[in-house]
Structure 1
Amino acid sequence: MTGEGHRRDNVAVEQIEVVVAHTERATLRVGEVFLKIDTDPARTDVEVEAMALVPLPTPEILWRRPPVLALAALPGTALGRLGEPSTASPAAWAAAGAAARLLHDAPLPPWPGRGHDELAAQLDGECAWLLRHEVLPTDLVTRNRRLAETALRPWTPAFIHGDFQVDHVFVAADEITGVVDWSEASPGDALYDLATLTLGHREHLADVVAGYGADVDLDLIRAWWSMRSLLGIRWLVQHGFDPHAPGCEVDVLRAQQA
């Protein structure tokens, strides 16, 4: 190949953006392409299969060469960020609730999800770690653990995203343009997705429920806020994130005492 031809085959990009990176996974943005690198191919298997099953818009899969999955960028912007006020409209939040309902009404995926016993064991282990390492005050852990345990009641399994965070939901003109990061998708409690979406954004819970269009037990949403926060703090600390940042998991736990 000549030098001129070689230059034509190269596409310049302004920069490579590190979206998230830790010892298990990394996501890079190169122009309009996201490169997801995962040490566990099973998570990528779930993500690819889930995107083929769900009735929601998802990123286009450009190619997969393990451990890398290349996805096209979605139009629009994320609904928000944990720890930051959301600038999205009430209509956009309601649209996210409607998207969750559409997903939860879909046929279940053919792989198992986490059951009550597994979640109870995880909660026990994480609370013990938080207390042993004096990460949080005992009364804060005890209060939130009691709340979290109320979520572990019988539920009818739904197809859940499993990590339905605000920064995984993209919107434009108050409409959902796509949902990303499906590696945690499974059968589970539909209210877990609604709680994950509104974690740290309780002021938008009414908009989400209105869009969801079904009776929702708000006490169980709050229970899942406690559960998700308690289960996540150790992982965040060990992977270089700060759950004590304003508006994040520790603040969520403190707000539960109000």
Structure 2
Amino acid sequence: MGGVDKVQVVIAHEERATLRVGDTFLKVDGDQGRLDVEVEVMRLAPVPTPEVLWRRPRVLALAAVKGKALGRTGQPSEASPTAWAAAGAAVRRLHDAPMPPWTGPGPEQYAAELDHECGWLVTNGILPADLVDQNRRAAEKALRPWTPVFVHGDLHASHVFVAGDEVTGVIDWSEGAQGDALRDLASLTLAHPEHLGNVLAGYGGDVDVEVIWAWWSLRSLLAARWLVEHGFDPDSPGCELDVLRAVGTRSTPDLTRRRGR
């Protein structure tokens, strides 16, 4: 039938699903509160976000943003270093903005989850115990007190869209809250560590790169079981298990050795 847009399943699991029909994205969520938070966080964020087209109980319709994703896991990024720096500058604007009222997990909650997730990885033979222990030791550096800021909370490179060297939109705000600035920077560069220097150049200020590395380990340790149980493969190239295996190979480039928040 001519002129009829296909329905594309972007993501689907037992908690939520996202469909695309033409230039409209439909987010269906079992938790209405999560959709309400997402809309409010987008309203507060000082960066480009998708236009809300309409809302119904447990369904949110959003307009597609212009441009292409900054990067995709397992694929080299086609975005320029300047675009990555622009993403870093956008993250800085977000982190400097007045915070939303919602508080994300703190160090104590992450530490409690870490016990369970590390045990699961070893018990199920996902990774050798010594590698899990090495990453757990690395991750503990992220479990320090931090000054909360306005965070996206799930800032994958695939959630940042650029056209040329400009950020045109940031999507998927359901985890927006008060949280650790360095978690956002770590999530953005998790699958693209070669662009960490570009992101930090745009972000500015003093940043403790070793805490970003710690978040790479912490985030990967905490995410692996959820990904497996929801039908995703954390062992795909560039994904969480690759990140965990690389823990012993990290070095500190002079241009990204920065201390601070």
TM-score, reference length from structure 2:
0.93
Distance in 1 separating the partners of 2:94 and 2:84: 16
Query: 1:61-140 maps to which residues of 2 (within 5 A)?
Result: 61-140=52-131
- Structure 1 unaligned regions, length at least 5: 1-10
* Residue aligning to 1:16: 7
Distance in 2 separating the partners of 1:29 and 1:66: 18
Please report how far the alpha carbon of residue 12 of structure 1 lies from its aligned counterpart in structure 2 after TM superposition.
4.0
For residue 197 of structure 2, the aligned residue among 182, 189, 206 is: 206
Distance in 2 separating the partners of 1:189 and 1:219: 14
Q: Deviations over 1:45-92 (max 9, x none)?
A: 110110011101100000111211000010001101111111110001
* Residue aligning to 2:253: none
Q: Does residue 252 of the first structure (1) align with residue 250 of the second (2)? A: no
Please report how far the alpha carbon of residue 112 of structure 1 lies from its aligned counterpart in structure 2 after TM superposition.
1.5
Q: Does residue 215 of the first structure (1) align with residue 206 of the second (2)? A: yes
2:16 aligned partner, one-letter code: R
Distance in 1 separating the partners of 2:91 and 2:25: 24
Contact 1:90 1:207 in 2 (8 A): yes
Q: Which has the larger Rg?
A: 1
Helix, strand or coil: the match of 1:205? helix
Helix, strand or coil: the match of 2:191? coil
For residue 236 of structure 1, the aligned residue among 202, 224, 227 is: 227
- Structure 2 unaligned regions, length at least 5: 250-261
* Residue aligning to 2:259: none
* Residue aligning to 1:54: 45
Please report how far the alpha carbon of residue 17 of structure 1 lies from its aligned counterpart in structure 2 after TM superposition.
1.2
Contact 1:32 1:72 in 2 (8 A): yes
1:28 aligned partner, one-letter code: L
Q: Does residue 184 of the first structure (1) align with residue 175 of the second (2)? A: yes
Q: Deviations over 1:87-109 (max 9, x none)?
A: 11000100000000000000111
Contact 2:73 2:237 in 1 (8 A): no
Off by >2 Å, runs of 4+ in structure 1? 11-14
User: Number of aligned pairs?
Assistant: 249
Please report how far the alpha carbon of residue 132 of structure 1 lies from its aligned counterpart in structure 2 after TM superposition.
1.6
Distance in 2 separating the partners of 1:33 and 1:239: 25
Distance in 2 separating the partners of 1:83 and 1:184: 24
Helix, strand or coil: the match of 2:53? strand
Helix, strand or coil: the match of 1:150? helix
Distance in 1 separating the partners of 2:248 and 2:31: 37
* Residue aligning to 1:5: none
Q: Identity across aligned pairs (percent)?
A: 66
Contact 1:95 1:211 in 2 (8 A): yes
Please report the RMSD computed on the Cα atoms of aligned residues, expressed in angstroms. Answer: 1.3
* Residue aligning to 2:27: 36
